[in-house]
Amino acid sequence: MPIRLIILGDIVGTPGRQAVAQAVPILRQRHEPDLILANAENAANGAGLTPELYQKLSRAGVDAFTLGDHVYKKQQIAHTLESEPNIIRPANLPAGAAGSRWMKLPIPGKRDVYVVTVLGRLFMNHLPADDPFACVEAVMSELPEPSPILVLEVHAEATSEKAAMGWRFNGKAAVVFGTHTHVPTADARILPAGVPGSADGVPGTAYITDLGMCGSVDSVLGRRVDRVLKHMTTAMPAPFDVADGDPRVSGVVVDIDEPSGRATRIERIEYAADVSKPPFTAT
């Protein structure tokens, strides 16, 4: 049996958290994953993650979490980043940043999975970030296995930077996926070997430029349309409140051949939440 992962895009605010809580049991029954991973950097009202929400999402069935450029928007998450083994900050932040550069996720009876996330540098100005290419190479040299099953997240604005990271680690990582732009892309595939400039090796790197988000799709990237339009059309300040219309869960299912550590399948998934049922309604 392959190692099967479900990887979910950025969880945005309460609608995203509720949609994930509703979807996870259904996705587990439908796909029988070994692990469910999610980016939770927008879980706390659209920016950051609190320890309480980390616990709530864990109880909902998410096995591990990554964070992006909003990693420290809620400063109290620093203790969770230092103490919990299933959550990481971007690896290419300065050395003194709170949290781990990578995480090892054990699967009973199967090989461990290692997860790394890095920030892109094109059009990303929130946090100082080092070269993501060199950072991933350095992290791979730190891992305790010579040929690990590596899952690499590229939290970046530019599609070109995400694609370049995919080719750079083609044949080295089992999965390279993008987050941050909240719009799912249509390019999920297994990258071929032998493309000039990409890493050597047999085919087996699953790639998608962006997973999309877990949140309201009747929105502008998860935020209320009227608030964003007011700012964009008048230049006047407006609070970018989280939207709540048509919450959905977006991500991928990836199968990885355990002996080789190479991906054999990637499939984009989307779950439309039923807001007439819990946790959207009181039980």
Report d(CA 117, CA 101) in Å as an integer: 8
**Beta-strand relationship, 103-107 and 110-119:** antiparallel
Under the phi-then-psi rule, with left for phi > 0, alpha for psi from -120 to 50, and beta for the rest, what region is 27?
A: alpha
3-state secondary structure of 37: strand
**Tokens representing residue 41 in the block:** 């950097």
Q: How many Cα neighbours within 13 Å face the side chain of 113?
A: 30
**Residues paired with 123 in a beta bridge:** none
Active site residue 126: no
What is the C-alpha separation between 144 and 138, in angstroms, rounded? 13
Name the catalytic one among 31, 70, 79, 126: 70
Positions marked active-site: 70
